Every structure is written in C-alpha cells, then in structure tokens.
Amino acid sequence: MSLNLEQYVSEFSAQNINGEHLLLLDGSKLKALGMTSSQDRAIIKRKLKEMKASLEKARKAQEKMEKQREKLRKKEQEQLQRRSKKTDKCSSDATEGTNEQ
C-alpha cells in the first residue's frame, strides 16, 4: 500500500502472501499473482531488493554482536580460570608454609 499498489492486496491476501513469502517472489511469480504491469513488478522487485539488503545488513550486525559477546564470555572465563589458579596456588603455598613450621 505504501508503494501505491493497493490493487494487488486482495490477490496477495487470497494467496496468503506474507512478508516471508514476499521475499521469495520473482518477476514470474508476481506475474502469476496477477501483477501484469511490468512497472508495478519493477517497483516491487526494487523494494524487495532493498528489503533483502537491509535484512542481510541486520543479520551481519547481529552475527557481529554475537561474536563480540562470545569473545567477551571467553575472556571472562579465562580471567576466572587464572584467578582460580592463583587462589589454588596461594592456598597451596600457605599450606606448605604451615607444614614447614
């Protein structure tokens, strides 16, 4: 509707075309849905291309965030392990010192 293509809404609805399905449509499928105007198909295809690019950009940003979170988790685990080893070493050294006395 934002593209001024309201005339196709009823057919898209009748065919249960939702956002996910819409992204899978190509020119021939749009034509089969009754979109006879090549200009209208071009508008839809251009908008779908923009949407796919936007989705891909968002997916990559999400992956980047997840990698950063994983990197932070690993770093925190390594720090905890180092602290644990230090604590174990200190308590071991303290025990040895007590035994020597």
Model confidence pLDDT, tens digit, residues 59-80: 999 999 999 999 999 999 999 8
pTM of the full predicted structure? 0.61
> Which class is 7-84 in CATH?
mainly alpha
pLDDT band at 57 (very low <50, low <70, confident <90, very high): very high
Domain boundaries, the chain: 7-84
Tell me what percent of the residues of the chain surpass a pLDDT of 70: 89
CB-based burial, 1-35: b 16+ in 10 Å, e otherwise: eeeebeebeeebeeeebeeeeeeebeeeebeebeb
Model confidence pLDDT, tens digit, residues 29-41: 999 988 999 999 9
